[in-house]
A and B are shown apart, each in its own frame.
Chain A
């Protein structure tokens, strides 16, 4: 798959998700699964941002508007969603593994941080870019 095709697919998925969010009711936003979905939505925005070297705050603004969600609410919900997702993936760990995971600052939630050189998202995207160039 070409890089541009991947970006098109991600953007299509973002628009579809935005449409779904724009239809849900207020009480559904109070559900953990919804905030996890919003975190995944913001993760896709972050990936598109890194792939296109876009402006993260502006992209959040744009897609929040499409989803009919206040930008600050989207960022807050996505942050809660990331914490919940990390808790889900660690809550059945042995005590030592759990402590090791949470004791490592690199594993802390970072969805709100724009991709910058040498961070995890940036490196993953660079790896993808290298794969596309091969």
Chain B
């Protein structure tokens, strides 16, 4: 396992911010009509929980399930809102950059992905995470079927 890689991404985690966002999420009453800021915040919380799970080598899915439940959102809605929030956050980040800087960002991303693909240990972790995610989706589908059957 590449500990340097873990250390580098661990810097992005703030336990205090996670706690603050969890407090905030229960105060949002109307998830039917969220604002763009709501989606940026919920995606930020999701990202930090995922990174924390990766760094601690523990699955983040149960914490994410808790967060979805705290928000009163189905898992599908939660995942969709987080995805949109990520896009908005990315656009906000790029808004202060010129085209060359954005190009550099994407070149850096592609380079990082290539490095990850070449690092067998990290690739194994990602493969394992993906397999767990697929298993989890199957479990959720089974649970959803049970609920709908009722």
Contacts and interface: CB of A to CB of B under 8 A. Distances in A.
Contact of A88 (B37, B39, B91, B102): B91
B36 A86 contact: yes
Given A27-B110, A31-B102, A32-B94, A84 B88 contact: yes
A84 B90 CA distance: 9
Contacts of B110: 27
A26 to B, nearest CB: 10
A64 to B, nearest CB: 19
B34 A102 contact: yes
Nearest to B40: A87
B80 to A, nearest CB: 9
A56 interface: no
Q: How large is the interface on B (under 10, 10 to 19, 20 to 34, 35 or more residues)?
A: 20 to 34
Interface residues of A, number: 20
Q: Which of A35, A79, A83, A88 has the most CB of B within 10 A?
A: A83
Given A32-B90, A88-B91, A80 B84 contact: yes
Contacts of A129: none
Interface in B49-98: 83-84, 87-88, 90-92, 94-95
B90 A83 contact: no
Contacts of A98: 35, 37
B106 A35 contact: no
Contact of B91 (A27, A84, A90, A103): A84
A87 B33 contact: no
Contacts of A99: 35
Interface in B109-129: 109-110
Contacts of B102: 31
A32 B36 contact: no
A119 B41 CA distance: 30
Interface in A98-114: 98-99, 102-103, 105, 108
Contact of A35 (B34, B36, B87, B92): B87
Interface string A47-64: 000000000000000000
A117 interface: no
B33 A80 contact: no
Interface of B: 32-37, 39, 83-84, 87-88, 90-92, 94-95, 102, 106, 109-110
Interface of A: 27, 30-32, 35, 79-80, 83-84, 86-88, 90-91, 98-99, 102-103, 105, 108
Given A30-B106, A83-B88, A84-B88, 7 more contacts: A32-B87, A32-B91, A35-B87, A84-B87, A88-B95, A99-B35, A108-B33
